[in-house]
A and B are shown apart, each in its own frame.
Chain A
Amino acid sequence: MSEIVHVDYTTKIPNNVDLANDRQVLKALEGWHPGYLDWWNDMGPEGFQESLVYLRTAISVDPKGWAKFDYVRMPEYRWGVLLAPRDEARKVNFGQHLGEDAWQEVPGEYRAMLRRLIVIQGDTEPASVEQQRHLGKTAPSLYDMRNLFQVNVEEGRHLWAMVYLLQKYFGRDGREEADDLLRRRSGDEDAPRMLGAFNEATPDWLSFFMFTFFTDRDGKMQLESLAQSGFDPLSRTCRFMLTEEAHHMFVGETGVGRTIQRTCEAMLAAGVDDPTDIAKVRALGVIDLPTIQKKMNLHYSLSLDLFGSEVSTNAANFYNCGLKGRFQETKIDDDHRLTTATYPVAKLVDGAIALVDEPALTALNMRLRDDYVNDCAKGVERWNKIIEKTGVNFRLELPHTVFHRHIGEFKNVHATPKGVLLGEADWARVRDDYLPSAEDGAFIESLMTPVSEPGQFAGWIAAPKVGIDNKPGDFEYVKIAA
């Protein structure tokens, strides 16, 4: 342990927040670091901590410095504290403080609210690492394994980013919260992670790709809204995190895309015309498109729950106080106060789904979720293009936002993916048509055999079109037994 304690932080932690001259925060981070490494070793990727992984590391926040690729052992990854450059002229861009100078310190009256926002965001970062920790063992290729680990170390860095804010700006409370972020565990009965989707298991690689596509995309929307914050250090932190989050979207979108590609190719090669002939398609050793649709239904609906209640006073307060804005707030053309505006919210009215105008201020969760839905829909369309190109007759579709919800307006009703409301008995009968069954899960799991030969891929997934960092197809992205 002494080695870890005596790490020279000024060189070991890349940072652009002048940690060397911020002794108090430095000390707090020093106190936290051994616990973090313990957590990483206990709960991080299982079995590959000694492998050399071809990772990108951010060493500065300018475009040239933040994507340096090299082999590194994950526990030696340089988790840094990196904030986007400060814009001296930046203002609070929404809410009642609109037009004031952005805050460099936490406004006393918003301390609790801000801490809550940061803790919720911070809690998701280590959670996903925990959820994905067993996946290395079944990676369909070294390329995919490397992408998984990249996602993992960056989620780790995002935890650092949030912990830095807690320790720098929230004193003793912040330090306690930082410790708690290492104490909670995904799926733990006594100390679960704070948000539902982050306590679900990620049992297989299709789930991982769906998670990075759908759930990390919620993360992207949340980060983007927090990047609008009037509290400048939070804004700058999230702005830089967004650049990393893009890689996670990439892993998800291309992972599912390559799975679809391989399925369609295998069907064509075997002369299987009917994509719904599940037995025939599965016999080819690929994941049938209807099952991919079911996985989508599951992960999409769980991710929608992360946006919280459609109508929310908390969200209104966050906005009004200038702490959390809307997606791309500064690009929206309105008064940025929302004192009189309304926003249509989907609600259950007399047993039917209807759009009801609500004050825009309280409907901010709904609005962010709509932005999210649009973003997801574009990705799904690109998957459909892959299918179209192969000539297979099938379309993937996002289910209705009413489908399979546990939070918000529709948590107490059942509905089909088309949005047709169902009674309890009907739902029980059709559930497995719309959500992955235990049998579906077992089939997918049966395909999860690891492939660790450079340039080779498991039979259920196509090779990517281009390598990471422009590397050739047979590049050894992970040196497992290094």
Chain B
Amino acid sequence: MSVLNAPLKQHVIDPEICIRCNTCEETCPVDAVTHDDNNYVVDASLCNYCMDCISPCPTGSIDNWRVVSRAYSLDEQFSWGELPMQEDLPDLAGEGAPEALEDEVGKLLEEARRGLGGKPVAPASASKPSVNLYNRGKPATATLTGNFRLTAADADNDVRHLILDFGDQPFPVLEGQSIGVVPPGTDAAGKPHAIRLYSVASPRDGEKPNAGNLALTVKREKGGLASNWLCDLQKGARIEVTGPFGATFLMPNDPAATIIMICTGTGSAPFRGFTERRRRAMPDASGKLVLFFGARRQEELPYFGPLQKVPETLLRKHFCYSRAPGQPRVYVQDAIRGEGAALAELLPQPGAHVYICGLRGMESGVDEAFADICRHAGIDWAALKDAMRGDGRYHVETY
């Protein structure tokens, strides 16, 4: 079991309601359900949360869950006359909270957090996230209500702003969380397509406040099945969505927190959410927002226009263009170095939070830049980074 999935949300069957009809055992595609003379039970090491067993169950006994630090064994479950109470666990939003309940998504997030160099920890003042309310077996269905191109018509990149409407389905997200998109159809082998994760680009109250919608930033990838499908969708199209996912790459609620956001391309999505949250909920926050945003050129920088309208007092913006005609190439790490003195002073402070999101290639450059500016200031970046990560103040999500 991956670290990201501990504590575990364990699928259990209520023996007082179950009638031992065998439907779940018959239905389970991975043979995770088994029984003895007493009870039907789910093997926690096999269950992949596909939810195939949920709707065929005639009793509702199958739809029970316990968050556990150690999974109940088969023998324990066989002996039950009734379900055990939910055990008291330490704050679930804190250290070790599950980012996803499905291994498929858990692995994607684990991969995205690889550059962190340790266990991800949520900011101390972050809200408690909802995780995995919807999954492959029971997805939410969203309606596409907007699909706008963010990059200039002549730009090489086609990056789009999609608005998904969930109607009456509750889909609570926090800034920094992701959702899973399930492309329709099957692959050549007849299997359903893998789930794609997209960061939510809107704040927690929605793209339009309290309208039950959210925004995504999607880049059309050459030959990419999901991204092309999404980018080509017309208004009114229906999309199967899972999630929300992620329990650590979250925005601190503390208005005194200074948030340093470093991104390229669609990595800007969560930071759009962060910025909108600050703008809407705490425009007079004492903490600063600082953005380092890299693109090839201005025309390819998503949200360039709207970002111009955000005042510098709310968001300090550093745009870095690596292919602007007639200009030297500037990468995010160069801009970070340019702010070296200020950053070196800021980083050790307890309110400073660093978020890196975008292409994996930027990781090492950014890390070296931080190491450089810290060295100048006599700070051990490796130790500081570890401490910040442990405090939930250093976050990486790259792909």
Q: Could you say which residues of chain B place their CB within 8 Å of the CB of A63?
A: 27, 52-53, 55-56, 137
* B73 neighbours in A (Cβ, 8 Å): none
A379: shortest Cβ distance to chain B, in Å?
7
A249 at interface by CB-CB < 8 Å: yes
Residue of B nearest to A468 (CB): B60
Q: Name the residue of chain B whose CB is nearest to the CB of A68.
A: B55
Closest residue of chain B to A62 (Cβ to Cβ) is B52
Provide the residues of chain B in CB contact with A342, threshold 8 Å: none
Partner of A246, one of B16, B23, B37, B55: B23
Verify if A243 is at the interface (C-beta below 8 Å from B).
yes
Whether, in the assembled complex, A421 has its beta carbon less than 8 Å from a beta carbon of chain B, the answer is no
Q: Judge whether A253 and B19 touch: CB under 8 Å.
A: yes
The reply on B90 being an interface residue by CB < 8 A is: no
- Within the complex, which residue of B55, B58, B137 is in contact with A250, where a contact is CB–CB below 8 Å? B58
B17 at the interface (CB under 8 A from A): yes
What is the total of A-B residue contacts with beta carbons within 8 Å? 53
Shortest Cβ gap from A143 to chain B (Å): 12
In the complex, A253→B16 CA distance in Å? 11
> A243 is contacted by which of B17, B23, B81 (Cβ under 8 Å)?
B23
User: B339 within 8 Å of A by Cβ?
Assistant: no
A250 to B14 CA separation, bound complex (whole angstroms): 14
Residue of B nearest to A385 (CB): B81
| B114 on the A face (CB < 8 A) | no
B17–chain A nearest beta-carbon distance, Å: 6
B26 engages A243 (CB within 8 Å): yes
CB contact under 8 A between A67 and B55, given known A465-B17, A467-B60, A470-B60: yes
Interface string of A365-381 (1 = CB under 8 A from B): 00000000000001100
Contact residues on A (Cβ < 8 Å of other chain), bracket:
20 to 34
Contact between B19 and A64 (Cβ–Cβ < 8 Å)? no
Report if B59 contacts A (CB, 8 A): yes
Interface string of A236-273 (1 = CB under 8 A from B): 00000011001101100110000000000000000000
- A-side contacts of B55, CB under 8 Å: 63-64, 66-67
CB-based contact A67/B63 at 8 Å: no
How many angstroms between the C-alpha atoms of A253 and B53 in the bound complex?
20
Q: How far is the CB of A104 from chain B (nearest CB, A)?
A: 21
Interface residue? B193 (CB, 8 A): no
Q: For B81, list chain A residues within 8 Å (CB).
A: 385
List B279-316 residues whose CB lies under 8 Å from chain A.
none
Which residues from chain B contact A253 at a C-beta distance below 8 Å? Answer: 19
* Alpha-carbon distance between A67 and B56 when the two chains are bound, in angstroms: 6
Indicate with 1 or 0, residue by residue over B3-33, a CB within 8 angstroms of chain A CB atoms.
Answer: 0000000000000110111110011000000
> A470: which B residues are within 8 A, CB to CB?
60, 63
Q: Please name all residues of chain A whose beta carbon is closer than 8 Å to the beta carbon of B27 when the two chains form the complex.
A: 63, 243
CA distance in complex: A117, B294 (Å) = 73
Do A246 and B60 have beta carbons less than 8 Å apart? Answer: no
Q: Which residues of B contact A379 (CB under 8 A)?
A: 19-20
Residue from the set B20, B56, B137 with the largest chain A CB neighbour count within 10 Å: B56
- Residues of A near B22 (CB, < 8 A) are 246
A385 surroundings in chain B (CB, below 8 A): 81
CB proximity of B182 to chain A, nearest CB, Å: 12
Q: Chain B residues with Cβ under 8 A from A4's Cβ?
A: none
| A466 adjacent to chain B (CB < 8 Å) | yes
Complex formed: what's the CA distance from A246 to B53 in Å? 13
CB under 8 Å from chain A, chain B span 60-89: 60-61, 63, 81
Residue of A nearest to B139 (CB): A64
Residue among A253, A467, A470 with max Cβ neighbours from chain B (10 Å): A253
Chain A residues whose CB sits within 8 angstroms of the CB of B58 once the complex forms: 246-247, 249-250
Q: Top 6 nearest A-B pairs by Cβ distance?
A: A246-B21, A63-B52, A247-B58, A250-B58, A67-B55, A466-B60
Q: Could you give 11 example pairs across A and B, Cβ below 8 Å?
A: A63-B52, A63-B55, A64-B137, A66-B55, A246-B22, A250-B19, A250-B58, A254-B17, A378-B20, A466-B59, A466-B61
Partner-A contacts on B (CB < 8 A): 16-17, 19-23, 26-27, 37, 52-53, 55-56, 58-61, 63, 81, 137
